[in-house]
Structure 1
Amino acid sequence: MTAIARITLLSLVMGLSACAVHRPPEPGLPPIPPSEPSTTPAPSPTSPGTPSAPIKPSKPQPRTSASFAPPPGGNSHWDAKLGVYVLDDQTNTFYRQRTYYRWNNGWSRAISPDGPWEDTDIHGVPSGLGRQFGQ
C-alpha cells in the first residue's frame, strides 16, 4: 500500500470514529442552551401578579486592589472608581504605587503620608483622582 493510500485510509477512519463517539441526547432531558448571548429576554420565573423577591444588595467593595499593593502601615480602602487607596485617617489623602497624593485646593504628592509634600498638577496624579477633583 502506498503512503498516500495509507494516509487517506487513516484520515477516513479517524473522521468516522469521531462520528461514532458522539451520542444523540437522551429523550426527556432538556436541550442545552446556546453559549452565545441571546437577544430575546429570558422568561420571568414568576407570574406578572406575583411580587418578586427583594433585590440582593450589591457586593461590598474590596478593601484591596488586585493590581496595586496597599499603603504600608495605614488604614485604607481601595476605591475602584478613583483607582487609588483612600487613607481612612487623613482627609483627601490617597495612595498608589509607593506615592501618596493629597488634595488641598491643589495637588501635592509625597513618598510618606507625613510629607514632605511636593506640589504637582493634574497630570501628576492618577487619572481617577484628576477626574474626581479637577483643577
Structure 2
Amino acid sequence: MKLRYLLYLGLLLPLAACTLHVDEGRVYAPPPHVEWRWDPGLDVFVVLGRPHLYYRDRTYYRWHDHDGWYWSDRHDGGWHRGGKGLPPGLSKKYGKSRRAHGGGGGY
C-alpha cells in the first residue's frame, strides 16, 4: 500500500514542481489567488503588491507598524490579533521588541 502512494507521489510531483517550494525537506504550497515570490531568508511567501503581507502553511501574516501582527486564512481579511505561530524569519525581520504575539487595532 505504501508503495502505491510513493508511486502516485512520484507521478504527481513533477506536475506540481512549478507550484511548490521545497526547503530543507519541507514542501510549501504557494498562496492561492495572489501573486507571490518565495523569500528564502524569511522562509515565507511574500505577497506581491501588498506591503507586509506574507504566507506560509495556509496562513497569511500581516504586519502593522503600530499594532503588531495579525493572521488570517484569507488574503483579503478576517484578521485576528497575534502571531499564530509566527514563522521565525518574520520574527527576525521585524524584531522581538515589536510584539510578535500581540497588538491592537488592525486590518
**TM-score normalized by the length of structure 2:** 0.62
Q: Select the residue among 31, 34, 44 that pairs with 1:74.
A: 34
Give structure 1 stretches of 5+ with no counterpart.
1-62
Write out aligned runs for 1:1-135 (5 A).
65-66=21-22, 67-105=27-65, 106-121=68-83, 124-134=85-95, 135=98
| Cα distance between partner residues in 2 of 1:75 and 1:64 | 14
| Cα distance between partner residues in 1 of 2:78 and 2:59 | 12
Deviation of the 1:124 alpha carbon? 2.9
Q: Highest CA radius of gyration, 1 or 2?
A: 1
CA contact (8 A) 1:64 1:77 kept: no
Give structure 2 stretches of 5+ with no counterpart.
1-18, 99-107
The secondary structure found in structure 2 opposite 1:103 is strand
CA contact (8 A) 1:110 1:117 kept: yes
- How many residue pairs match? The answer is 72
Q: For residues 30-81 of structure 1, what are the alpha-carbon distances to aligned partners after superposition, in whole Å with 9 as ceiling and x for unaligned?
A: xxxxxxxxxxxxxxxxxxxxxxxxxxxxxxxxx9621200001210000000
**Runs of 4 or more consecutive aligned structure 1 residues displaced over 2 Å after TM superposition:** none
The two structures, once aligned, show a CA RMSD in angstroms of 1.7
Deviation of the 1:87 alpha carbon? 0.3
If asked which structure has higher relative contact order (CA below 8 Å, sep 6+), I would say: 2
The secondary structure found in structure 1 opposite 2:21 is coil
The secondary structure found in structure 1 opposite 2:28 is coil
Please identify which structure carries the higher strand content: 2
